[in-house]
Structures are given as structure tokens and as C-alpha cells.
């Protein structure tokens, strides 16, 4: 947890400007307000200082030689997505301000800046990286955890909820990526506007474009009416793009353009429509790998991954399992109006050490299955094993399934031929040498099949 | 306190934040250097340099309490953008006059 930075020492502000007069003035103002101030005159020096002095906030000029404020901002957010950055610009250019906001800037101020306004903004945004316990809005109340790894994730998520920063969630299947996205939306100023989730992998490629961007009447065969699309439907709210890694390449280009211009062009339309949507995307794939392989565009990847949040797998936080089991048993009993059941100590320890390939979603299924099937109040180990076994059976790898089939097949053939290797090999369509190799691989001895039953 | 170069001219009284007392002489000194640098850049036709110097002045003047420096900086910036030599010179003249006459009071 990173909540005690601001209580143990003065908040440290890194000020970046290539104009020494501005730098001196800002430093003076901030020091008068008892901030700890570090000044540098270039983006390059700023990046070096971030690692050394670990500032709580960065205040930077936009226009500078070599590395400008925008490049600095994007590099800072690559390294430290939660570090608040306030931009100062000589000109109030709206596109710059919009771009800066979406790159993760906390505020955009115009020079000459008023001292009071600057100090107010700094104080406001220091709260973002500091203690959030005074937050008025509850965050993700249905996210159950006690582990520090989850606490850190929730803290990061809460910190980014308040802004329009583009968030990118990764996590194995069943870890609750959409639940986290919804929690961020619910804690954001957009909470009274729609939250729309779309699974990019579940919609046929040809339909995805019109689903997202909308289409005009007659844009293609079957387009009988005009359709607004999900970007428009999420106007003022949040659009959650799940399984973004499954998005086809040509659509990736179009999505990139939308994220750059904040406009969408419905299929068959010549006009672009402005949109006001916060994007949260998610994937269970390794997109970095997809970028290397050329199946996912690097420019889109970096535009989406402004704030990366990674949800740990359930097996990486075993201390949460008992809490989750209890929560879902309680939920089950409340839903059914039945007394709450519990797991036997052996069942519990088995559940805590289970691999949980399907994560929290699998855990909920196991709890529901056990609570439904078990007629007594205490759920025994055998029931848990059954519930877990079914889940694992479904998720067996092809290699394991092949191996197990091969073994069963060899046993059947040997039973049929009573352990005669030559006939068995002929039936299996292999020569004797190959057949022996197979038997060795499975540790099967044909002699075992020659013995009369009972011996 | 600054020497009044234009002794026949009226002083321009500007109130500045007493907290900035240490920084103000240096700030005004830097503007004198700017005036020289802008003249040199004009001579060599480097409008981009003129524009940048004007832009910086625009950004810093108000913060120190010199709204006029911000205003003049803005004029220099736009004139340089339009490659308007006369416009730059006019604003520069006014800036020079202002710097010579300004008398800072800290209150």
C-alpha cells in the first residue's frame, strides 16, 4: 500500500520547465506552501528525477525543446501510471488538453497561471496518489479480499476511477475483469451514465464494426434501419471492451482513430459524430506477445494501456479463498432462504490448495454446486472433490486427454488378445517395436494380461 | 531598487508579492536580456526565436505581477508568427519603455 507518503513527509513536487524564470517562480510558490520542491529544466532530467526523488506529483510545461510535456507525460504514465501530472501550457488549445487528459494528465492549466488556482489543483490531485480513505464513494463493495495484492489493486483502481484515464485490465479467465471495470465506472463521475460491456470475441467480425460504431439505413444488406452503435449508446458513460485481443486488425485501425479523434463514423455514413466515452478494455491474452507477432497493433496497445491493472489469479491469493467461500455460501443461503452451510475442515483445506484454473467464477460454481447437492449442513471433502473434479475434467489439456485415451486403448487391446503383443500390434496398426515403445511409455506390461484371472 | 534610466518619464508603479522580492530584480534583468536577444534575432531574421522569447514572456510575466510583460510577450509572439517586423519592434519598444519606467512596490 502506498498511502502513507503524504503523512510521513511533505508532498514532493517535481517541477519541469525550460524557462528558468517560470521554474523559479513556481518553486517559490510551492515552497511557500511547504511543499518539498525539486526543479529540472528538461523532460529527460525529469524522468531521471522520478526514479531518484520519487515525487508525489509532477508539474510540467507543455512546450519544451527535445522532449515536450506530452512525451514526458506518456513516458511517466508508462512507468508510474498513478503519479499525478499537471500540465502547464502557454496556450489553451483544446485538442492538447483532450489529448493530455486521455494520456493520463490530472489537470491542464494555462500560463500565466494564478498561484491560488495552481495550489488548489496540486492539493486536489495529491489526494489521488495519497490516502483515499476519505473517499465519499464506496469502491467495488462486492469485490471480496483480504490479501495485500488485491488491496493494492483496489487502491490503484480507486485512484484512477475519478478521472477519464483509459484503463487496461488483464487477468486470467474468471478473475472478474468486468466486475472491476464496473466498479471503476461506479466510482467515477460518469456513474449516472451507462456502463456498456461488449465482448469483442463473441460478436462475428462482420457485425462488430456496426455494433460498435453504428450504421446508416441501407449501409449493407440487412441494414433495414439506422443503428446508433455501442459507442453512442455509452455516451457520457463507460464502454468496456472485453477480449480486446480478439478484435480483427482492420477494426483495430478504426478503433485507434476513434481514440485519437473522439469521433465515430457509422458504417455507410460520411459524417463523424463526436463521442464522450471512457474506454476500459480487458484481455486474458498476452497482448504484448500479440503485438510482437503482429496480430495486435502496437499503437493501439499503447493507447489502451495508459493505466494497466492486473488482477491476480485466485491461486496467487490463497488467503482470500476462505473469505470468498464464506461470502458465496452466505449469498447462496440468503437467495434460497435456507440455513447457511459450511465446509468441513478437510474440504476447506482442499479448496484452499486447489489450483482454481477458472478463478473466482469457478469458485462460485463450486460453492453453488456443493450447496445445492449436499443435503446436510456440513459439506464434506468428497463433495468438494466431485465439484472440483468436474471442473478440472472440462479443463483437461489435449495432451492429457490423448495420453489417457491411448492408455485405455492399449489396455483394451491387450485384454482382447490376452497379452499377445504381435496380435495387439497388428490390431493397433503398428509394428512390434513401435508397440513395445508405446507400452513402455505407459508402463504397461503385456505379461499382466496373460495371467488367468484371479492369479 | 532599479535605476530610472528614463529620468524624464513618469514611473510606472507595480505592486508585487513581497514573497517574490528576491526573484524580481533577476526577472526584470532577464527581460532586458530578452530585448537584446529579440533585436539580434530580428536582425538575423530568426522569427522562430523571437516567437519563443515572446511566448515565454507571455507565460511568465503575470505570475510575477507584470501583466504588461505578458501582454507585450503575447504581441511579440503573434507579430513574430506573422513575420511582422514592425509589429515586433513596436511591442519591443513598449516593453523597453515599460522595463525602464517600472518601479516595484512590495505590498
pLDDT digits (tens, 9 = 90+) for B14-57: 888 888 888 999 999 999 999 999 999 999 999 999 999 999 99
Number of domains in chain B: 1
Q: Which alpha helices (H) appear in A337-451, and where do they start and end?
A: 345-352, 359-373, 381-394, 398-417, 421-428, 432-441, 447-450
Is B5 domain-assigned? no
Q: What percent of chain B has pLDDT over 70?
A: 92
A22: closest chain B residue by CA: B60
C-alpha cell at A328: 458465496
Chain A residue numbers touching B27 (CB-CB < 8 A): 21, 24-25
Binary contact (A32, B19; C-beta < 8 A): yes
Residue B54 within a domain: yes
Q: Rounded CA gap, A252 and A229, in Å?
A: 16
- Grid cell of A269 as nine digits: 455514413
Measured between beta carbons, the chain A residues lying within 8 angstroms of B56 are 19, 21-22, 90
Residue A272: pLDDT over 50: yes
- The phi and psi torsions of A204 (rounded to 5 degrees) equal -55, 140
- The answer for residues whose C-beta is within 8 angstroms of residue A401's C-beta and 6 or more apart is none
Lowest mean pLDDT among A205-219, A237-251, A316-330: A205-219
The span from the CA of A113 to the CA of B98, in Å, is 22
User: Which residues of chain B have a CB within 8 Å of the CB of A26?
Assistant: 63
A247 touches A297 (CB < 8 A) = no
Whether B59 is covered by a domain: the verdict is: yes
Beta carbons of A143 and A176 less than 8 angstroms apart = yes
Between these two residues, A105 and A56, which has the higher pLDDT value?
Answer: A56
What was the pLDDT predicted at B41?
95
The answer to whether B104 and B85 are in contact (CB under 8 A) is no
Highest mean pLDDT among A102-106, A244-248, A405-409 belongs to: A244-248
User: Shortest Cα distance from B55 to chain A (angstroms)?
Assistant: 7
Residue that has been written with the C-alpha cell 506518456 in this structure: A74
pLDDT at B7 over 60: no
- pLDDT at residue B24 in the model: 92
Comparing A141 with A359, which gets the higher pLDDT? A359
Predicted model pTM? 0.52
Residue window 48-67, chain B: list those with CB within 8 Å of chain A. 55-56, 58-64
Look at residue B12 and tell me if it is in a domain. no
Inside any domain, residue B8: no
Beta-carbon contacts of A51 under 8 Å, excluding residues fewer than 6 positions away, are none
**Least confident piece of the model among A131-140, A162-171, A398-407:** A131-140
When mean pLDDT is compared over A199-203, A266-270, B99-103, the highest value belongs to B99-103
Radius of gyration of chain B (CA): 14
- Chain B residues in contact with A113 by the CB 8 A cut-off are 63
Nearest C-alpha in B relative to A117: B63
Q: Tell me, yes or no, whether B50 lies in a domain.
A: yes
Let me know: does A444 contact A411? Beta carbons within 8 Å.
yes
- What pLDDT digit, counting tens, does each position of A420-432 carry? 998 899 988 888 8
Band of the pLDDT at A395, cuts 50, 70, 90? low
Using the Cβ of B86 and the Cβ atoms of chain A, whether some distance falls under 8 Å is answered with no
What is the pLDDT, as a whole number, of residue A203? 84
Question: Given pLDDT bands bounded at 50, 70 and 90, which one contains residue B5?
Answer: very low
Residues in chain A whose Cβ is within 8 Å of chain B: 19-22, 24-26, 28, 32, 63, 88, 90, 111-113, 115
Judged by CB atoms closer than 8 Å, whether chains meet at A21 and B27 is answered as yes
| Angle between helices A249-261 and A205-213 in degrees, nearest 10 | 10
pLDDT band, very low/low/confident/very high, at A136 (cuts 50, 70, 90): very low
Is B101 an 8 Å CB contact of chain A? no
In which region does residue A253 sit, left (phi positive, over 0), alpha (psi from -120 to 50) or beta (all else)?
Answer: alpha
Q: Could you read off the pLDDT of A14-61 as tens digits, one per residue?
A: 999 988 899 999 999 999 888 999 999 999 999 988 878 888 899 999
Helix (H) or strand (E) holding A282: strand A278-283
Q: Tell me how far apart the alpha carbons of residues B53 and B68 are, in angstroms, rounded to a whole number.
A: 15
Contact B68, B13 (CB under 8 A): no
Integer Cα distance of A306 and A405 in angstroms: 47
Summary mean pLDDT of chain A: 86
Q: Is A24 in contact with B63 (Cβ distance < 8 A)?
A: no
Enumerate residues 6+ apart whose C-beta is below 8 A from A298: A291
| Model confidence at A369: pLDDT above 50 | yes
Q: Which pLDDT band, with edges at 50, 70 and 90, does A404 fall under? A: confident
Of chain A, the percentage scoring pLDDT greater than 70 comes to: 91
Residues 6+ apart with CB under 8 A from B5: B100
Cβ neighbours of residue A242 closer than 8 Å, sequence gap 6 or more:
A177, A178, A197, A198, A199, A200, A201, A281, A282, A283
Could you give the CA distance from residue A71 to residue B88 in angstroms, rounded to a whole number?
A: 31
Does B32 reside within a domain? Answer: yes
Nearest to B61 among A20, A112, A115 (CB): A112
Residue B4 in any domain: the answer is: no
A21 and B62: CB-CB below 8 Å?
Answer: no
As a whole number, mean pLDDT of residues A381-401 equals 72
> How high is the pLDDT of residue A105?
75
Q: Which of B59, B74, B80 to mutate to test binding with chain A, by most A CBs within 10 Å of its CB?
A: B59
How many CA atoms are closer than 13 Å to the CA of A379, on its beta-carbon side?
26
- ipTM field: 0.80
Give the pLDDT band of residue A93 (cuts 50, 70, 90): low
Task: Judge whether residue A98 has pLDDT over 50.
Answer: yes
Grade residue A68 by pLDDT with cuts at 50, 70 and 90: confident
B chain contacts of residue A21, beta-carbon cutoff 8 Å: 26-27, 30, 56, 60, 64
Model confidence at A95: pLDDT above 80: no
In this predicted structure, the answer to whether residue B8 has a pLDDT above a threshold of 60 is: no
Q: Which domain holds residue B54?
A: 25-106
Residue B77 confidence (pLDDT) above 90: yes
Q: Which of A72-81, A204-213, A443-452 has the highest mean pLDDT?
A: A204-213
Query: Tens digit of pLDDT for each residue in A193-239?
Result: 999 999 998 888 778 998 999 988 877 777 777 788 999 999 999 99
B62/A115 touch (CB, cutoff 8 Å), yes or no: no
The answer, yes or no, to whether residue A94 has pLDDT greater than 50, is yes
Indicate if the pLDDT at residue A406 is higher than 90. no
Q: Which residues pair with A85 in a beta bridge?
A: A58
| Maximum separation of any 2 CA atoms in chain A, in Å | 100
Q: Which of A32, A90, A112 sits opposite B63 (nearest CB)?
A: A112
Mean pLDDT, range A272-295, rounded to an integer: 92
- A/B interface, count of CB pairs below 8 Å: 48
Provide long-range contacts, Cβ within 8 A and 24+ apart, for A267-273: A267/A209, A267/A210, A267/A213, A267/A214, A267/A215, A267/A216, A267/A219, A267/A220, A267/A223, A268/A215, A268/A216, A268/A218, A268/A219, A268/A220, A268/A223, A269/A214, A269/A215, A269/A216, A269/A219, A273/A232
Amino acid at each position: 500500500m502506498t498511502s502513507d507518503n503524504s503523512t510521513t513527509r511533505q508532498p514532493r513536487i517535481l517541477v519541469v520547465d525550460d524557462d528558468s524564470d517560470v521554474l523559479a517562480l513556481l518553486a517559490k510558490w510551492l515552497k511557500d506552501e511547504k511543499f518539498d520542491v525539486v526543479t529540472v529544466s528538461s523532460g529527460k532530467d525529469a524522468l531521471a528525477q522520478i526514479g531518484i526523488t520519487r515525487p508525489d506529483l509532477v508539474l510540467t510545461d507543455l512546450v519544451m525543446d527535445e522532449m515536450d510535456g506530452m512525451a514526458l507525460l506518456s513516458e511517466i504514465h508508462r512507468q508510474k501510471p498513478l503519479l499525478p501530472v499537471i500540465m502547464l501550457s502557454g496556450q489553451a488549445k483544446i485538442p492538447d488538453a483532450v489529448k493530455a487528459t486521455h494520456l493520463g494528465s490530472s489537470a491542464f492549466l494555462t500560463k500565466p497561471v494564478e498561484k491560488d488556482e495552481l495550489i488548489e489543483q496540486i492539493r486536489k490531485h495529491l489526494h489521488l496518489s495519497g490516502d483515499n480513505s476519505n473517499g465519499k464513494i464506496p469502491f467495488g463493495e462486492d469485490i471480496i479480499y483480504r490479501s495485500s495484492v488485491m488491496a493494492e489493486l483496489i487502491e490503484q483502481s480507486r485512484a484512477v476511477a475519478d478521472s477519464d484515464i483509459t484503463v487496461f485490465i488483464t487477468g486470467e479467465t474468471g478473475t472478474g475483469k468486468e466486475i472491476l471495470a464496473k466498479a471503476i465506472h461506479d466510482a467515477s463521475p460518469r456513474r449516472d451514465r451507462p456502463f456498456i460491456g461488449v465482448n469483442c470475441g463473441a460478436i462475428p467480425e462482420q457485425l462488430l464494426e456496426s455494433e460498435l460504431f453504428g450504421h446508416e439505413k441501407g449501409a449493407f444488406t440487412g441494414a433495414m434501419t439506422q443503428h446508433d452503435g455501442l459507442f453512442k449508446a455509452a455516451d457520457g458513460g463507460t464502454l468496456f471492451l472485453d477480449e480486446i485481443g480478439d478484435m480483427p486488425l482492420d477494426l483495430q485501425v478504426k478503433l485507434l482513430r476513434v481514440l485519437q479523434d473522439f469521433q465515430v463514423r457509422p458504417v455507410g455514413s460520411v459524417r463523424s459524430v463526436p463521442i464522450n466515452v471512457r474506454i476500459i478494455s480487458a484481455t486474458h491474452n498476452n497482448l504484448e506477445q500479440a503485438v510482437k507477432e503482429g496480430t495486435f497493433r502496437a499503437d493501439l496497445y499503447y493507447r489502451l494501456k495508459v493505466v494497466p491493472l492486473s488482477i491476480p489469479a485466485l491461486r496467487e491469493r490463497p488467503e482470500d479463498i476462505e473469505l470468498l467461500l464464506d461470502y458465496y455460501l452466505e449469498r447462496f443461503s440468503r437467495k434460497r432462504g435456507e440455513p447457511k452451510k459450511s465446509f468441513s475442515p478437510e474440504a476447506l483445506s482442499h479448496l484452499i490448495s486447489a489450483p482454481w484454473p477458472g478463478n473466482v467464477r469457478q469458485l462460485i460454481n463450486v460453492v453453488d454446486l456443493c450447496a445445492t447437492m449436499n443435503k446436510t449442513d456440513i459439506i464434506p471433502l468428497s463433495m468438494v472433490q466431485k465439484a472440483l473434479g468436474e471442473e478440472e475434467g472440462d479443463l483437461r489439456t489435449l495432451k492429457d486427454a490423448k495420453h489417457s485415451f491411448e492408455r485405455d486403448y492399449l489396455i483394451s487391446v491387450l485384454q482382447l488378445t490376452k497379452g499377445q503383443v504381435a496380435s495387439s500390434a497388428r490390431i493397433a496398426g503398428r509394428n512390434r517395436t513401435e508397440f513395445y515403445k508405446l507400452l513402455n511409455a505407459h508402463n504397461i506390461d503385456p505379461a499382466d494380461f496373460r495371467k488367468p484371472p484371479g492369479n | 531598487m532599479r535605476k530610472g534610466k528614463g529620468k524624464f518619464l513618469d514611473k510606472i508603479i507595480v505592486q508585487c508579492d513581497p514573497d517574490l522580492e528576491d526573484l524580481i530584480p533577476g526577472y526584470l534583468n532577464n527581460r532586458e536580456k530578452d530585448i537584446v536577444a529579440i533585436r539580434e534575432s530580428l536582425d538575423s531574421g530568426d522569427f522562430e526565436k523571437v516567437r519563443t522569447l515572446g511566448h515565454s514572456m507571455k507565460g511568465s510575466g503575470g505570475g510575477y505581477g507584470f501583466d504588461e510583460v505578458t501582454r507585450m510577450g503575447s504581441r511579440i509572439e503573434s507579430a513574430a508568427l506573422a513575420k511582422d517586423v514592425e509589429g515586433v519592434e513596436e511591442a519591443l519598444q513598449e516593453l523597453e519603455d515599460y522595463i525602464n519606467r517600472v518601479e516595484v512596490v512590495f505590498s
